[in-house]
């Protein structure tokens, strides 16, 4: 088996045992970055020297008989909205261009303590607002599987980095689907955990009651490993769940015999036929593996988009008010402070960010609160209650992740609403605070990847991962014939998948 397609689980096992060198694993990833980063632009910043030093240190630790941790030597990319001490953290915005945080996000500390190697900070839609990474102030990221198409967003860079083999795993953030949707468009696994599962301390806030950090990986097991490492209570985050979480790696092994998988019969229309076909295949696979398919309803599901686009911009308008040119970041000089605010923020924020700040400010303002933000919070309750009812009949739910495969650049930028619809299937999960993950499940139009979304109730990760693992197994069984030719990158630079990964891409 080529080392190029090792999973994180395999890498860390190999490095810890001494059979693999972290330095070698890193070099392979850096070689792929050298080869293709120019055209993909997954990164805002590649940290080659720092990564080499870290890898050498890991190898030294192992040589001295010490254990670097469960992610020993695993190259990881971090979405550039997670604070990394002394390393620029820009949120792909001009207003934070060059800003170096004086502290680490909690997840960054946990990754470091586990022996992971940060290879770079990845590109995103500015301040995590978008579904295509076209809103980055530093240029878009291109889908490694088709450079004319978007990787999805807002964590497009992190998704692309894993899809292109620049990193073994990466972290993104998901407020309305920003991990799951790009995961689907890039053909990788992407997970948003239960709200409060992973600490938000050091994650630059977009919408505080919706944001969560989660992994992009090539396998379900790798995502489980990542969450086992970064998840768990953090005293620095008041909203972080106090109780310890059971290991997800351990949960995966269980099959889906007797699992109740829900089909949401009143799900909003909008998925392309190729996407709908893959979803059906997924239901068939789980049924074949012993699960029971049940019909459920989530009547308020379709109102999620509206509730989200009133709640998230409202919270964002407040979270982004701190970017005022006083203490850090961009400052546009002016004769007085008030003028400085207006000029700095107009120059520093891109159009989508400004639009959402305006929408959110409006929705919260005197006279409008009841009609907008106040009402949206009630719709949120309806959605959560509907899901709770559905979860009395089903253990997990299955939906498409995104309505279409990756779309061409510029095809949705004229109409913000068209872009917002990309998240129609992912948003309600954030509103309810539930976990959700996208599992690559074959290809659709133009041979582009399609993701299937597995949803579960609060702290339903173990069940969710069981179902996802079963889907993954069914996919690799189905693509056994194409496996041999998919283990090396082909002429197009399209990354092959290991036996545990997604199905054929060619």
Partner 1 sequence: MTSIMNPTPGNVYTAGPATGNEVLIDGYELVVGLEVHVELATATKLFSASANNFGDEPNTNIDPVTLGLPGALPVLNRHAVELAMRIGTALNCTIQPCVFHRKNYFYPDMPKAYQISQYDQPLNVNGYLDLPGGKRIGVERAHLEEDTGKSTHFGGTGGRIHGSDYSLIDFNRAGVPLVEIVSRPDIRTPEEAREYVSELRAILLAVGASDAKMEEGSMRCDANVSVHKPGEPYGTRCEIKNVNSIRSLGRAIEYEARRQIDMIEAGEVVRQETRHWDENDSRTHTLRTKEDADDYRYFLEPDLVPLAPSAEWIKAVADAMPLLPTERRSRLAAATGALADGEAVMVVVERGQDDYVLDVAAAGGDAARALIYVKEAFAPQADGTAVDVPAADVAALTKLETSGAITATQAKTILAEIVANGGGDAAAIAKAKGFEAMASGDLEAIVDQVIADNAEAWTKYVGGDDKTMGFLVGAAMKASKGKADGKLVTAMLQSKRST
Partner 2 sequence: MGVSARITAADVAKVAKLARLDLAPEAIERTTAQLAGMLEHFADIDALDLGAVEPMTQPYPLQNVFREDIVLTGLDREEVLAAAPAAEDGRFRVPPILGLDG
Smallest distance, Å, CB 210 to partner 2? 8
Q: What residues line the site for partner 1 (CB under 8 A)?
A: 82-83, 89, 91, 96, 99, 101-103, 105, 200-205, 208-209, 235-239, 314-315, 318, 321-322, 324, 326-328, 337-338, 341, 361, 364-367, 369-370, 373-374
Q: Is residue 79 within 8 Å of residue 157, measured between CB atoms? A: yes
Site residues for partner 2, 103-132, by CB under 8 A, read: 103
Smallest distance, Å, CB 325 to partner 1? 10
Out of partner 2, partner 1, none, which partner does residue 441 contact, by CB within 5 to 8 A per kind? none
Other beta carbons within 10 Å of 417: 9
Smallest distance, Å, CB 476 to partner 2? 34
CA dist 121 and 238 (Å) reads 26
Site residues for partner 2, 383-402, by CB under 8 A, read: 384
In the complex with partner 1, the residue whose CB is nearer, 326 or 480, is 326
Instruction: Decide if 79 is catalytic.
Output: yes
Smallest distance, Å, CB 117 to partner 2? 25
Q: What is the CA radius of gyration of the chain?
A: 21
Out of partner 2, partner 1, none, which partner does residue 281 contact, by CB within 5 to 8 A per kind? none
48 touches partner 2 by CB under 8 A: no
Site residues for partner 2, 453-482, by CB under 8 A, read: 458
Q: Contacting partner 2 (CB under 8 A), which of 99, 272, 289, 487?
A: 99
Instruction: Decide if 154 is catalytic.
Output: yes
In the complex with partner 2, the residue whose CB is nearer, 15 or 359, is 359
Sign of CA dihedral 229, 233, 239, 242: positive
Q: Is residue 267 within 8 Å of residue 428, measured between CB atoms? A: no
In the complex with partner 1, the residue whose CB is nearer, 103 or 283, is 103
Residue 69 — left, alpha, or beta (φ > 0 → left; ψ -120 to 50 → alpha)? left
CA dist 306 and 217 (Å) reads 30
* DSSP SS3 for 31: helix
201 touches partner 2 by CB under 8 A: no
In the complex with partner 2, the residue whose CB is nearer, 254 or 354, is 354
Out of partner 1, partner 2, none, which partner does residue 202 contact, by CB within 5 to 8 A per kind? partner 1
Smallest distance, Å, CB 466 to partner 2? 22
* DSSP SS3 for 170: strand
In the complex with partner 1, the residue whose CB is nearer, 148 or 365, is 365
In the complex with partner 1, the residue whose CB is nearer, 324 or 386, is 324
361 touches partner 2 by CB under 8 A: yes
Smallest distance, Å, CB 328 to partner 2? 5
In the complex with partner 1, the residue whose CB is nearer, 71 or 203, is 203
Smallest distance, Å, CB 266 to partner 1? 29
321 touches partner 2 by CB under 8 A: yes
Long-range contacts of 371-374 (CB under 8 A, 24+ apart): 372/310, 372/314, 373/310, 373/311, 373/314
Site residues for partner 2, 228-247, by CB under 8 A, read: 235, 238-239, 241-242
Catalytic one of 79, 121, 192, 412:
79
Give the 3-state DSSP-derived string for 395-420, with helices as H, strands as E and coil as C.
Answer: CEEEEECCCCCCCECCCCCCCHHHHH
Residue given tokens 């609403």 in the structure block: 417
* DSSP SS3 for 96: helix
Instruction: Decide if 2 is catalytic.
Output: no
* DSSP SS3 for 175: coil
Out of partner 1, partner 2, none, which partner does residue 330 contact, by CB within 5 to 8 A per kind? partner 2
In the complex with partner 2, the residue whose CB is nearer, 127 or 441, is 127
The counts of H helices and E strands in the chain are 16, 11
Q: Which of 60, 261, 14, 43 is nearest to 164 (CA)?
A: 43
Cα–Cα distances (Å) from 325 to 329, 344, 348, in that order, read 6, 6, 9
**H-run or E-run covering 223:** helix 220-230
* DSSP SS3 for 173: strand
Query: Residue 161 — φ and ψ, nearest 5°?
Result: -60, -40
Residue 128 — left, alpha, or beta (φ > 0 → left; ψ -120 to 50 → alpha)? left
Smallest distance, Å, CB 387 to partner 2? 11
Helix orientation angle between 106-113 and 220-230, rounded to the nearest 10 degrees: 110
Out of partner 1, partner 2, none, which partner does residue 384 contact, by CB within 5 to 8 A per kind? partner 2
CA dist 207 and 228 (Å) reads 24
Site residues for partner 2, 148-167, by CB under 8 A, read: none
Q: Contacting partner 2 (CB under 8 A), which of 195, 201, 391, 407?
A: 195
Q: Contacting partner 2 (CB under 8 A), which of 1, 258, 273, 370?
A: 370
DSSP state of 329: S
* DSSP SS3 for 441: strand
Smallest distance, Å, CB 27 to partner 2? 33
Out of partner 2, partner 1, none, which partner does residue 105 contact, by CB within 5 to 8 A per kind? partner 1
CA dist 99 and 97 (Å) reads 6
Six-digit token pair at 49? 């020297």
Catalytic one of 93, 131, 158, 178:
178
Site mask for partner 2 (CB under 8 A), range 413-442, x = bound? ---xx-------------xxx---------
Which residues have a catalytic role annotated?
79, 154, 178
């Amino acid at each position: 088996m080529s080392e190029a397609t090792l999973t994180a689980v395999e890498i860390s096992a190999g490095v810890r045992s001494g059979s693999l060198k972290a330095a070698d694993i890193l070099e392979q990833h850096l070689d792929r970055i050298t080869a293709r980063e120019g055209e993909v632009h997954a990164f805002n910043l590649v940290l080659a020297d720092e990564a080499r030093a870290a890898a050498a240190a890991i190898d030294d630790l192992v040589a001295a008989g010490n254990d670097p941790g469960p992610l020993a030597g695993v190259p990881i990319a971090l979405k550039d909205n997670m604070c990394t001490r002394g390393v620029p953290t820009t949120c792909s915005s001009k207003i934070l261009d060059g800003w170096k945080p004086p502290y680490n996000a909690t997840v960054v500390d946990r990754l470091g303590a586990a022996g992971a190697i940060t290879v770079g900070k990845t590109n995103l839609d500015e301040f995590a607002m978008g579904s295509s990474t076209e809103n980055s102030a530093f240029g878009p990221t291109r889908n490694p599987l088709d450079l004319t198409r978007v990787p999805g967003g807002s964590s497009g860079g992190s998704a692309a980095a894993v899809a292109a083999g620049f990193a073994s795993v990466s972290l993104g953030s998901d407020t309305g689907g920003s991990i799951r949707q790009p995961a689907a468009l890039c053909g990788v696994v992407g997970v948003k955990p239960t709200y409060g599962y992973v600490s938000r301390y050091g994650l630059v806030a977009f919408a505080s009651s919706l944001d969560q950090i989660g992994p992009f990986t090539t396998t379900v097991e790798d995502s489980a490993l990542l969450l086992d490492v970064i998840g768990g209570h953090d005293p620095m985050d008041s909203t972080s769940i106090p109780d310890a979480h059971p290991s997800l790696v351990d949960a995966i092994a269980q099959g889906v015999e007797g699992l109740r998988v829900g089909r949401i019969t009143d799900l909003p229309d909008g998925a392309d036929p190729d996407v709908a076909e893959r979803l059906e295949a997924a239901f068939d696979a789980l049924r074949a593996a012993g699960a029971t398919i049940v019909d459920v309803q989530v009547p308020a599901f379709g109102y999620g988009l509206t509730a989200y686009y009133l709640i998230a911009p409202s919270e964002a308008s407040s979270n982004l008010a701190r970017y005022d040119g006083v203490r850090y970041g961009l400052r546009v000089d002016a004769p007085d402070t008030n003028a400085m605010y207006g000029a700095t923020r107009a120059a520093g924020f891109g159009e989508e960010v400004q639009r959402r700040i305006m929408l959110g400010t409006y929705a919260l303002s005197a006279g409008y609160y009841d009609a907008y933000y106040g009402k949206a919070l009630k719709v949120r309750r309806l959605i959560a209650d509907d899901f709770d009812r559905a979860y009395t009949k089903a253990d997990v739910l299955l939906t498409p992740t995104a309505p279409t495969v990756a779309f061409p650049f510029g095809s949705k930028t004229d109409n913000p609403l068209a872009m917002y619809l990309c998240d129609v299937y992912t948003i309600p999960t954030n509103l309810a605070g539930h976990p959700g993950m996208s599992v690559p499940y074959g290809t659709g139009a133009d041979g582009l990847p399609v993701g299937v979304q597995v949803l579960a109730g609060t702290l339903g990760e173990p069940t969710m991962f069981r179902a996802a693992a079963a889907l993954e197994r069914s996919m690799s069984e189905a693509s056994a014939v194409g496996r041999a030719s998919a283990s090396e990158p082909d002429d197009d630079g399209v990354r092959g998948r290991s036996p545990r990964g997604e199905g054929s891409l060619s």
